[in-house]
Each structure stands twice: as structure tokens, then as C-alpha cells.
Amino acid sequence: MRTINLPPPAAPPTSPDECVSLYLHRLEVGAMPFWGASQLLVALMAWPNDEATRNTWMATNAALFVDRDDGVSAASGKDRAPDNSAEGPPSPDQVAFEAFGGLRSVTDAALLHLHGQLDDIQMRWIRVADILHVVVDMAYDTRVQIRGGTSVSKAVELLECHRALPAKSQLRADWSRFRDVAHLITAAAHIACEGAERTRDRTTLAILTPILLAPEAVLSIALGFQEFGLTTKPYRQTTSLLPTDTLWRVPRSAGPENLFLPFRRLTDAQIDFLAARRARSK
């Protein structure tokens, strides 16, 4: 079992509305108060099964902050802490390193490569969030009875009806790749979508933004999706919707006393599709 090891928030949001409000407040003031938690969540969600790349992401971002702090100290005239590990003038290698941009040059190159990966990953996140949230929506919408219950397969079929989405094989591939963090992705996507709906600003739709600005809100909602995914077994299957062994689990202490799970009403088109599907399967 894999657990996300983060310090528990002092006061986690207690409802989906509170999560979105916290995110929008941070968005307005441009605050990222929990740098370590935010960056760790990005690393886990982007590369859930690639520890080497996660480490590169964290080390590179940490180096960027170190370089920024050094620049602030230099600009303000403040003395840096003395380095007692070496004595005498800098070596030729140190001089050459600084002459070619120093630490900032190295971090910029590494982050450019990782951000290139992240651009593609965020597109895949959207599909994963769609799949899990539609599974939840089908489970909670009482207007339609689904033969055999809800499942990823039915959610993929439902999503495939939208022409803008890729083929079933691509949806399944994305689900398989990010299944271990699907609850986190869906939570962040929900916050981003609700925030864009409230502000009428579609530039806030990026799933990455709530992760960076309000990680505690993402974790609170993710706990609800996590509980649903671990306790729901698709029809005639012995394993739960989300994997019990490899899932990156949010610790219970990261959420409120009473868990919550946001779900949406299915559209009329989705209801019609499911009804027709049920009729065909009889």
C-alpha cells in the first residue's frame, strides 16, 4: 500500500463548496502557501509509477527556489551563510559553472523538459477525471437503472459518444496509466471546473492550478473519491474500482471528519444513451 506522506492541514475544507471557495481566494491573491505539498502532489499525479522522474521534478524545483533565494539575498545586500565546506577562492570549475548561467541555467533546462511532458499529461488527466466522475455520476443518479451497475467500461462508452474525445483505446490507456492517482486528478479537475463556472473564466480550467494553490482542498475531495473507488466493485469483478495495492492513498487525517463526494446529474443525452444500451442488452 502506498500512502501520500504530507503534514495534515490544520483545518481541511469541510465541503465541496468550501474547497472551491478556498481555491478561488488563493487564485485571486496568487498565494501558494504549501510549496512542498503542492509540488509533491504534482509529481505523484504526473508520474505515479516513475520515482526517478518524480525525484527529478522535486530536486529541480527545490534548486530553483534555492537559486531564487540566493538572488534575493544578493539584490538586498544580505550576506549569505558562510560556506565552511571549502576554503580559498573558487575553483576554475566553479567559475565556469557561474559563467554559463550557474544553477538557474541547469534548472531551466531540466524544467523545460519536464514541463513539456506535463503539457501532454494534463490532457490525459482530463480524460481520467471524466471517466471516474462519470462512474460516480452513474452510481448516484437515480433516474436511470444501469444493468450490471456502473463500471469504467460503461463510462468509457458514454464518453466516447462525445466526438471531441479520443477513441476507446486511448481512453482506456490513459485510465490504466493514471488509475493509481485517479481520485486526486478527479478532485483537482472538479475544483478547476467549478471555479471556472463561478468566475466565468475558462483560463482557470487547468487541473494543475488547484494542485499548486490549494492542495488541502484537492486532498479533501480526493478522500471522497478514494473511499468510493475502494468500496465499489464493478459487476462480476472481485477487485475494487480503484486498486487496493498500488493506489496512492490520501491519509484520513488530511480530510474533514465527514467525507463528501461531489456528483453531477447526467445529461439528457447521457440518460438516453444508457437507456438505449440497457434495451440492447436485454
The better pLDDT of the pair 107, 114 is held by 114
Is 90 part of any domain? no
pLDDT band at 80 (very low <50, low <70, confident <90, very high): very low
Cα dihedral 86, 88, 90, 91, rounded to 10, equals -90
Assigned domain for 92 exists? no
CA distance 75 to 125: 40
Structural domain boundaries, residue 171: 11-72+97-281
pLDDT of residue 66: 61
> Does residue 1 belong to any structural domain of this protein?
no
The answer to the question of residue 79 being in a domain is no
State the distance between the two ends of the chain, measured CA to CA, in whole angstroms: 40
Beta strands of 140-213 (E only): which ranges?
Answer: none
Task: Return d(Cα 145, Cα 89) in angstroms, integer.
Answer: 77
> Could you give the number of structural domains in the chain?
1
Q: What is the value of pTM for the model shown?
A: 0.84
**Within a domain: residue 124?**
yes
| Domain assignment of residue 269, yes or no | yes
Residue 2 lies in a domain: no
Give the model's confidence band at 105: pLDDT under 50 very low, under 70 low, under 90 confident, else very high: low
Q: Is the pLDDT of residue 148 over 50?
A: yes
Label residue 281 exposed, middle or buried (CB < 10 Å: 0-12, 13-18, 19+): exposed
220-272 residue pLDDT tens = 999 999 999 999 998 778 899 999 999 999 999 999 999 999 999 998 888 88
Q: What is the pLDDT of residues 16-61, one digit of tens each?
A: 999 999 999 999 998 888 888 999 999 999 999 999 999 989 988 8
Question: Is pLDDT of 165 > 70?
Answer: no
**Structural domain contains residue 139:** yes
Least confident of 161-165, 177-181, 228-232: 161-165
